[in-house]
Structure 1
Amino acid sequence: MSLEVLFEDFHFIALNKPAGLPTQAPVGIDSLEARVKAYIKEKYQKPAGVYLGIPHRLDKPVSGVVVFARNSKAAAKIAAQFEHRTVRKTYWALVEGTPHPISGIWQDFLRKIPDVARAELVSAEFSGAKEAVTEYRVLRTTPDFSWMELLPQTGRMHQLRIQAASRGFPILGDTQYGSAKPFDAGNSWRIALHARSLVFDHPFRKVPVRLEAEIDSQWPISQEWIKELSPVSHQTD
């Protein structure tokens, strides 16, 4: 039941979600939401129920930054930022192959497949099609994988996973979208996709909030590599 809390105040709490744990689940099933509610109830001695607003989610096999609102007003203000695409999201991924060019923008149309937890690429005219836009750059390439930074401008279901896979570079471990290489041999439910950071405005203080989640030991990325990353505007504005 351990939690890695990245930030906490009376308005919201941010955590580094481990891969394999759903953000939200029905009562009785372990989830990040259930763990956070138990944590708040114990820490603040709340005898009644604990309110948690969920302005965004991460897929179960994905790790990284997740934010929960601790009151309804904060929930509405943070959710509005996600809806209006003013939240700056940075993901790291390990993919098969070597993407070319090494930086650019992916633009596609996706739709959720009815009654299935899966999405697909479609034409713009297809019923239910929604535009998906992601800026990307390749950070490093090795014989086993390419390490990528992905900056989604939209928030479609499985957006990053489909966009990478459809170009011949599936995320390691993502067998749902064609990966042939495991990411964590001991845990088949993990994929090499991590929500590295979020930047948004505090719902009441009107100052930027920058949240960053560390990768775990299963990621074959050294701290030296991370230190070598050049600053980029979306992380330092």
Structure 2
Amino acid sequence: MKVVYEDNHLIIVYKESGEIVQGDKTGDCPLSETVKQYIKEKYHKPGRVFLGVVHRLDRPVSGLVLFARTSKALARLNAMFRDGKVHKTYWALTLNAPRQAEGQLTHWLVRNERQNKSYAYDHEVPGSKKAVLEYRVLTSPAFGVRRADGSYSQGGSLPSPRYTLIEVRLLTGRHHQIRCQLATMGCPIKGDLKYGASRSNPDGSISLLSHKMSFIHPVSHEEISVVSPLPDDPLWQAMKEL
């Protein structure tokens, strides 16, 4: 387990793909229990350790997960997530590039509980929830490498000659939102068989990373901004310089 940030009220850790955030029917040890044990041992805490789960990442996804260490922080962070005051960006590796280098996607998603899958519609349907995200291509064989001014360099070497790296900012938080919306755009995430990828990743992951998290600290009111380590996979490591 990698700790990215911690203080008396919260802790942010890096979740490996394959880990679960909270306990489920599999019986596997969740990340929340690993974090509790870390706190218990580091701070020599007797008895039970309080840890509040504020949000989750799908099992095959890697990246930043935020936990609350106090009940005060938990209540305030829950409100901040509900009000859209925690800003998260994701990185997704896809085989296909979108038609436009950046844009906003709006769909209405219907969750199928039995299949554990969401379906996207371009209009509201019964049982649907509106889903909105913004995206921009960071590097792609189709566009080149994105510069700081928003233009793209053409002709130079690419981090990957085959895959496109898309940065995503969620404006809503729906079940499998990024996975479903990118697939609907024709850009399924590498390794995500459920949403149209042609093959799985060897480790069972999907190439989606919770990359950056920014918010105002719920107690100290300082600005917090953290960036995730990249997975050890060589393709991810090739993206280090972006």
| Alignment gaps of 5+ in structure 1 | 230-237
The two structures have a TM-score, normalised by structure 1, of 0.88
Report the alpha carbon displacement of residue 149 of structure 1 after superposing the two structures with TM. Answer: 0.5
Unaligned runs of 5+ in 2: 142-160
Q: Secondary structure at the match of 1:220?
A: helix
Q: Go from structure 1 to structure 2 and tell me whether the alpha carbon gap of 1:114 and 1:220 turns closer, same or farther (over 3 Å shift).
A: closer
User: What is the distance in 2 between the residues matched to 1:5 and 1:208?
Assistant: 18
Distance 1:20 1:77 in 2: 29
Which among 180, 198, 217 is matched to residue 162 of structure 1? 180
Instruction: Quote the residue 1:129 is aligned against.
Output: 128
Task: Single out whichever of 89-98 and 22-31 deviates more from structure 2.
Answer: 22-31
Structure-1 separation of matches of 2:55 and 2:125:
26
The one of 6, 15, 18 equivalent to 2:16 is 18
The separation in 1 between residues aligned to 2:45 and 2:226, in whole angstroms, is: 27
Q: How does 1:165-204 map to 2 (within 5 A)?
A: 165-182=183-200, 184-185=201-202, 187=203, 189-204=204-219
Computed over aligned residues only, the root mean square deviation of the Cα atoms, in angstroms, reads 1.7
User: Is the contact between residue 106 and residue 122 of structure 2 (CA under 8 Å) also seen in structure 1?
Assistant: no
Partner residue of 2:66? 67
What count of residue pairs does the alignment treat as equivalent?
222
Distance across 1 between alignment mates of 2:34 and 2:75 = 22
Distance 2:139 2:28 in 1: 38
SS of residue paired to 1:76 = helix
- The Cα of 1:124 is off from its aligned counterpart by 4.1
How far residue 30 of structure 1 moved from its aligned partner, in angstroms, is 1.3
Q: Please name the residue that 2:166 is paired with.
A: 148
Indicate whether 1:209 and 2:224 are aligned: yes
Which residue does the alignment assign to 1:105?
104
Paired with 2:167 and 2:114, the residues of 1 have a C-alpha distance of 31
Q: What is the deviation of 1:127? A: 2.2
1:73-84 alignment runs, 5 A limit: 73-84=72-83
Q: Normalization by structure 2: what TM-score?
A: 0.86
- Matches of 2:123 and 2:138, distance apart in 1: 31
